[in-house]
A and B are shown apart, each in its own frame.
Chain A
Amino acid sequence: MRRWLRPGDIALIALLLLPLAVAMPRLGGIGGPPELWLTWVGRVTGILGLAMMLLAGAVSVRVPGFDRPFGGLARLWHLHHWLGFTAFILVMLHALALGLAAVPTSLDAAVATLFPPVSHASVWLGWLAWVALVVFLAPTFDFFGQPHYQRWKRLHLVSAAALLLGLWHALLLAGEAWPWWLLGIAGLGAIAWRKGVAPARRHPYRVEELVPLARGVVELVLRPEGGGIRHEAGQFVYLSPLDESLSDGRGEEHPYTIASAPSDSRLRIGIKDLGDASHALQTVTPETRVLVEGPYGEFFGRRFPERDMLWLGGGIGITPFVGGARDLAVGAGAERHAHLFYLAHDPERAYYREELEGIAETQEAFAFTQHYSRERGRLDEAFLREHCPDFTEREIYLCGPPAMNAHLQRLLTDQGVPASRIHSEVFDFL
């Protein structure tokens, strides 16, 4: 986990506080009788809530590279998630506080504050925005069971309506409109970009080869039709296959990690059968076209470049390390030593193993250790220390199934490795 502030966070906080700072002189003090401070709380939560909603929209823009000041797309996604939910909570506190502020006057006044005659359009716009929030958050709350990914994504577009209505609500009530125009353009502009402009700017590739690695795992070798993308080791892309014969996921975008070195003229992507779309990709037709958007993330982002690295990969989570090792194999990016532990159930599931062993034989900067849980059970401290005595001193990168990640986090933390030196980038539901 990375707990420190990134440059992007500081910009985000500044933008978040801007409307509040501008409105502050009008809000009066927090002291005084309940109706006064409740009004203050109601206004402040409303201003912060809408600012967060708009910024949650703004950070969803997913322009390649935009995620780097925030520590990668996975972290940006967590920020989006956090902003969105906090905004939802704040707008409800906003309405409740303003309603309660009128209770000392009378109960009727409180109800009429929240549900005034229809002619008070500004208040009803606020309610409509809230309803839109509830509609697109409902699947996240599991009201109707786990949502289908693509359907959930489409429903999430209702957020644009929520932003628009919320913005309108604020513009009718705000003293100074310009901060809202600024954030509104950022939030709605980001959604317009993502849904309108970005799809047309994806890079076309052809499926050159489909290399079976194990049961349910293939490596897709992609040949760029134009310039293609430029990436670093361990980054990921969004891939939309256009093969008409695909049983599922045609034209849909899903995130996959790049397994090739940046210098490779082909883009190689390891794909495990984990869902309908990745299942269909196991039999994608060669020479069909795919669209690639990216790259994103900074899996190998370094906090402590003076330290050697420990790489712990398991399952399809080996792919970023394959990319890293292939990068080392061509003599690039090897300023520090890297030791990769490959955690697999048995030799049959240890795809890429031979290639990784080969790289370790020729490259001094790279060591490779295979671990089979069928033989040795879960990876433990003794095994790590036996093969890599200084593992607690290294900068550590994790990638694997959630249970493995949790187990390793615990193991490493118990050995006194500070959380700031353990990196993992989980992109579920991006």
Chain B
Amino acid sequence: MNMHKIAYSVFIAFVASLLTLVSVSALSSSERDAADDEGLDPITLGELAEHDAAESCWKAIHGRVYDITDYVSNHPTDPAVILEWCGREATEGWDNKRPGVPHSARAEGMLEAYLVGRLVDEAGEPVEPEAAARSDEARNGEAADEPALLSPAEDERLHRALLGLPLDGRYRGVFGDGGEMQVNVQFDLRDGRLSNVSYRHLAYRGVDYRTLDDDEDLYPVWVQHQQLAEALEDQPLTAIFALYEPERLAEDLDGYSGATLRGNKVHSAFRDALNRGVYSWP
């Protein structure tokens, strides 16, 4: 059998296989339609938002809600990439695996295995991804729907703003020096108290502290910074001034590392966050 015959046979077999695959798929069609959606549990943005962490990670994608908690560890990227979208409308992340590049059809197929429901608004109507993304920013924000109804006598936000007090909400702020961003903090402010303090970025001279392994020399610095964040948790906002003397908040891990904590950088990032104002409403 010469090369021509082999190649020709493979060609015919290939075309036949494609036709078989396409026709079998068409005949056993599982087209998604509105009726399918009716059978799914309705899930509101509020319910969705409760599952926003690795322990329970739900995402809304193209109007459907998926519980991908079990899949997170199998995702090919760093877990942070996939966890970032937990508890919210994640269509944008799904459609932009890399900027402009959507997830593959195969990934779409795998996603269906994690389907738990369909995304609805408070009235039980299906939510379009864009609308959801908008209201996502204002999740739990009943006030956002009816701010005009409050009288100046009742509007606490107004009172705090007029007095120059920081409003409740989520804040983000950065400290940059020497041409690089070194610290990026995020925290929530509720009734003047800090919560959910975390670092979105922590680096110095190109070293990303958040990705260090525990055997690396600079790892203690990362641990110390985490201790700072933990120490501020549930403290009044004024506690950030303790960052000027970080030894009050963090323990010296070991003398060997010689790690030096720059609490004032973190402090500066906090102040930057406050200057910027509320990033998203609580």
Contact of A110 among B8, B11, B14, B21 (CB under 8 A): B21
B17 closest partner in A (C-beta): A96
B28-83 contacts to A, CB under 8 A, are 28-30
Which chain A residues lie closer than 8 Å to B6 at the CB level? Answer: 85, 89
Q: Within 8 Å of chain B (Cβ to Cβ): is A181?
A: no
Is A263 positioned at the interface, with any CB of B under 8 Å from its CB?
no
User: Which A59-106 residues have C-beta < 8 A from chain B?
Assistant: 81-82, 85-86, 88-89, 92-93, 95-96, 99, 101-102, 105-106
Contact B109 A96 (CB under 8 A): no
Q: Which chain A residues border B3 with CB–CB below 8 Å?
A: 81-82, 85-86
Stretch at the interface among A134-142, A213-221, A318-326: A134-142
Q: In the assembled complex, which residues on chain B have CB atoms less than 8 Å from the CB atom of A134?
A: 11
Q: State whether the Cβ of A119 lies closer than 8 Å to any Cβ in chain B.
A: yes
Give how many A-B residue pairs fall within 8 Å (CB-CB): 76
- With a cutoff of 8 Å between Cβ atoms, the chain B residues found around residue A105 in the complex are 106, 109-110
Q: Is the interface of B mostly helix, strand, loop or mixed?
A: helix
Contact call A99/B10, Cβ cutoff below 8 A: no
Distance (Å) between the CB of B212 and the closest chain A CB? 23
Given A105-B106, A105-B110, A112-B108, does the pair A137, B21 have CB atoms closer than 8 Å? no
- Complex Cα spacing A110 to B7, Å: 24
B103-149, CB < 8 A from A: 104-106, 108-110, 112
A185 interface contact, C-beta 8 A: no
* B interface size (C-beta, 8 A): 25
Determine which of A93, A107, A119, A140 lies in contact with B21 in the assembled complex, contact meaning CB atoms within 8 Å.
Answer: A107
In the bound assembly, the distance between CA atoms of A233 and B21 in angstroms comes to 57
A386 within 8 A of B: no
What B residues does A23 contact at CB under 8 A? none
Q: Answer whether A92 and B14 are a contact pair too, CB < 8 Å, given A105-B110, A106-B112.
A: yes
Q: Could you say which residues of chain A place their CB within 8 Å of the CB of B30?
A: 106, 108
Report chain A residues within 8 Å CB of B22. 111, 115
Distance in angstroms between the alpha carbons of A364 and B6 in the assembled complex: 50
Q: Judge whether A369 is part of the interface by a CB distance below 8 angstroms.
A: no
Which B residues lie within 8 Å of A89 (CB)? 6-7, 10
Binary flags per residue of B179-219, CB closer than 8 Å to A gives 1, else 0: 00000000000000000000000000000000000000000
The residue of chain A having its C-beta at the shortest distance from the C-beta of B3 within the complex is A85
Alpha-carbon gap, A96 to B16, bound state (A): 11
Q: How many Å lie between the Cα of A428 and that of B67 in the bound state?
A: 64
Nearest CB in chain A: distance from B230 CB, A: 38
A116 at the interface (CB under 8 A from B): yes
CB distance from A107 to the nearest CB of B (A): 4
Q: A residues within 8 A CB of B110? A: 105, 109
Q: Determine whether A285 belongs to the interface, using a CB cutoff of 8 Å to chain B.
A: no
17 A-B pairs, CB-CB below 8 angstroms?
A81-B3, A82-B3, A89-B10, A93-B10, A105-B106, A106-B30, A109-B108, A109-B110, A110-B106, A111-B25, A111-B105, A112-B105, A114-B18, A119-B102, A120-B102, A141-B4, A141-B11
Q: Which 7 A-B pairs have the closest CB atoms?
A: A109-B109, A112-B105, A105-B109, A92-B14, A107-B25, A102-B106, A111-B25
Q: A88-B7, A120-B102, A134-B11 are in contact. List 8 more A-B contacts (CB 8 A).
A: A81-B3, A89-B10, A95-B18, A99-B21, A102-B105, A109-B106, A110-B21, A112-B109
